[in-house]
Amino acid sequence: MNILGIDTSCDDTSAAVVVDGAQVLANVVNSQVKLHHPYGGVVPELASREHLRNIVPVVSEALSAAKLKMSDIHGLAVTIGPGLIGSLLVGLYYAKGLVYVQKIPLVGINHLEGHILSIFLEEHIPSFPFVALTVSGGHTSLFMVEGFGHYTLMGQTLDDAAGEAFDKVAKVLRLGYPGGVAIEKLSLLGNRNKIHFPRAHLAPGSLDFSFSGIKTSVALYVKKWEVNKKQDEQASLADIAASFQEAVVDVLVEKVMMASERSGVSCVVIAGGVACNKVLREKMTEAASPKGIGVFYPRPAYCTDNGAMIALAGYHRIIHGERADLSMDVRSRFPIDELVPMAR
């Protein structure tokens, strides 16, 4: 079964063709990084306009790369939330037009479900149940995953997402956008133990996250540092970036290990844009290995927003009989526990 997946949840226009929820024939992503770079973050109005320009050529390119015609597509999956309303609407209304003409099934996909299931696009996959951490610019959440369509929220950020904290700290350090890549690159030149920024552990045993305190601590440190940075004993910009990154990674690793031990699973999955971070991957594996816990990461192309993960999630919903009608709408907030569970 050939499923076309479309994702326009934020600032990437993406379309992909996936066969039987496993084989990726094409995955095309048009990035808007250059457009938003001068503003230090995504400008929703600009993102929507760019999606309008790109959606038709991106879908056409995906079909061409897959060597298929639209008539060869058996179902269409499109992200309906969470995300930027204007961006989501572009993808949804284009998808509605396609299914109306082609008379094929349509399903709306929760963006986080796509990230959770993205690991199943890889050759080596985890067994159910497993704990999944979705960590990106818009989300930092922990889930118990008992099967396709069966997710239980274990913890989530109470303020900034981890990726959002990276972007905001990068802005404070004048490193540009996107912040995660800039901080990770600069951190290679710094001492991660030079400065101890606070780790927000919250209440004892809590699996929730909070990164606003780390962000504020870095901002206050930088203000003092800029006055005294000529002194020999002061940290470098690279030390600040590395120490901040270490603080965020420590919290992520600690919460994932706590969740896996509490639930008794033998596998954890790390997904989302921040999952590309090499220090996070290294420290997560170091913490999990002695406990006999396997750690699975999608390749970078499937960590960032992409249509392939949406097509994969859509395949599993379509084969279980799920269908959406043309009245379906987008949602800026879309808690995953509001998804209709699939039959086991």
* pLDDT tens digits along 37-74: 998 889 999 999 999 999 999 999 999 999 999 999 99
Cα gap 238→235, rounded to integer Å: 8
Q: Which domains does the chain have, with CATH numbers?
A: 2-116+302-338 (3.30.420.40), 125-297 (3.30.420.40)
Q: How far apart are CA 146 and CA 228, in angstroms?
A: 53
Average pLDDT, the chain: 95
Confidence band for 247, pLDDT divided at 50, 70 and 90:
very high
pLDDT-based confidence at 231, cuts 50/70/90? low
User: 250 pLDDT exceeds 50?
Assistant: yes
Q: What is the pLDDT of residues 263-291, one digit of tens each?
A: 999 999 999 999 999 999 999 999 999 99
The model's confidence at residue 194, banded by pLDDT at 50, 70 and 90, is very high
Q: Are strands 140-147 and 130-135 parallel, antiparallel or unpaired?
A: antiparallel
Q: Which helix (H) or strand (E) holds 214?
A: helix 212-228
Read off the pLDDT of residues 70-89 as tens digits, 9 standing for 90 and up: 999 999 999 999 999 999 99
When pLDDT is cut at 50, 70 and 90, the band that residue 213 belongs to is: very high
Beta pairing, strands 267-271 & 294-296: parallel
Q: Per-residue pLDDT tens for 309-324?
A: 999 999 999 999 999 9
What number is the average pLDDT over the span 131-154? 96
The confidence band for 340, taking pLDDT boundaries of 50, 70 and 90, is confident
Percent of the chain with pLDDT over 90: 90
Decide if 96 contacts 326 (C-beta within 8 A).
Answer: yes
Q: Which residues of 55-65 are buried (b: 16+ CB within 10 A; e: fewer)?
A: beebbeebbee
Q: How confident is the model at residue 14 (pLDDT cuts 50, 70, 90)?
A: very high
- Going by pLDDT thresholds of 50, 70 and 90, the confidence category of residue 232 is very low
Predicted pLDDT of residue 190: 95
> What is the per-residue pLDDT for 104?
98
One-letter amino acid of 53: R
> Which residues partner with 271 through β-bridges?
134
DSSP codes, 148-173: TTEEEEEEEBSS--HHHHHHHHHHHT
Cis peptide upstream of residue 126 (ω within 30 degrees of 0): no
In sequence order, the 6+-apart residues with CB closer than 8 A to the CB of 273 are 135, 136, 137, 163, 180, 303, 304, 305
Distance of CA 254 to CAs 113, 154, 200, 235, Å? Answer: 23, 14, 11, 26
Amino acid at 289: S
Q: What pLDDT does 9 receive?
A: 97
